[in-house]
Amino acid sequence: MGATVSKTKVRARRKTGPHAAVEKVMSPQPLTIGRDQTLATAHRMMRENKVRHLPVLERGRLVGLLSQRDLYFLETIAGVDLDADTVDDAMSVDAFAVGPSATVSEVAATMAQRKLGCAVVIERGRVIGIFTATDACRMLAAG
């Protein structure tokens, strides 16, 4: 009987712990933005929706990522006009993307190693979610 309890606990951990698929703990259907939108629009979207990352899409496909940190940095540069400059001018084109079955531990390890705040979750070429450091903290806090 002890082995059964042990297997049950292991299965439960795989569903919610570090071995869980990232799709189980990601934020589904994240807010996204087009590359031709202004930085002011991106800033407003982040502020109003209390998010720090916007996957950038073109024709439904991920082409980059814009972070709140990127915007804060740009605001310090002379000549940057948030009302005229576009997301395309500021986005990171090497967004960290993972499949929904990637484990939380794998994704979190890469995020920590590369000092990233999020991973965009892609399935069949489409953005289905975003996994952030906040999502990881929530999972850990839930036990």
The pLDDT tens digits for 106-119 are: 999 999 999 999 99
The overall average pLDDT reported for the chain is 89
Residue 40 has pLDDT above 70, yes or no: yes
CA distance 62 to 108: 20
pLDDT band for 11, please (50, 70, 90 cuts).
very low
DSSP assignment, residue 23?
G
Question: Which positions ≥6 away from 78 have C-beta within 8 Å?
Answer: none
Residue 1 has pLDDT above 80, yes or no: no
16 or 39, higher pLDDT: 39
Can you list the pairs that 1-9 forms with residues at least 24 positions away whose Cβ atoms lie under 8 Å?
Answer: none
Tokens found for residue 19: 């071995």
Determine the pLDDT at residue 141: 87
Residue 87 has pLDDT above 80, yes or no: yes
Give all domains of the chain, ordered by start, each with its CATH number.
Answer: 20-142 (3.10.580.10)
Determine the pLDDT at residue 6: 42
Determine the pLDDT at residue 15: 62
Determine the pLDDT at residue 7: 43
Instruction: Answer whether 136's CB lies under 8 Å from 112's CB.
Output: no
pLDDT single digits (tens) 60-83 = 999 999 999 999 998 888 888 999
